[in-house]
Amino acid sequence: MNDIDLYRYLDLNKKVQIDPEGYLVKQSDWDHSVAALLAADEGLALTEEHWELIRVARDFYTRYEMAPAMRPLVKATKQALGEEKGRSVYLMRLFPGSPPKRLARIAGLPKPTNCL
């Protein structure tokens, strides 16, 4: 089995490759339409609330060169969007399961460290 067999394509044109965990193989492939495809692959329809968090995660990545794990994500969200949205319950509602992992996938970021 070669490396190509490990990946699958997100789009019909076979231009956007994702790894077995659903993360983009090339971060440069990310844009708003790719985010919508990644969200659909996760069973999510993106709302403005989702986009706010995507922007927070991408800003965090730009600043620290890593995708945020849960605690840093909560803190960054609180700083950017206020006390009400900067809570793990809010993140869980929008990105059920593992908010940092799901958010990183859809935001086109690598897997957060310290996330199983």
Question: 45 by DSSP, 3-state: which?
Answer: coil
**Dist. CA 30–CA 71, nearest whole Å:** 25
Residue 69: both structure tokens together: 């794990």
Q: Catalytic residue at 115? A: yes
Q: Which of 56, 59, 115, 116 is flagged as catalytic?
A: 115
In terms of C-beta density within 10 A (0-12 exposed, 13-18 middle, 19 or more buried), how is residue 54 classed?
Answer: buried
> Shortest CA distance to 30 belongs to which of 41, 15, 42?
15
Residues designated as active site: 115
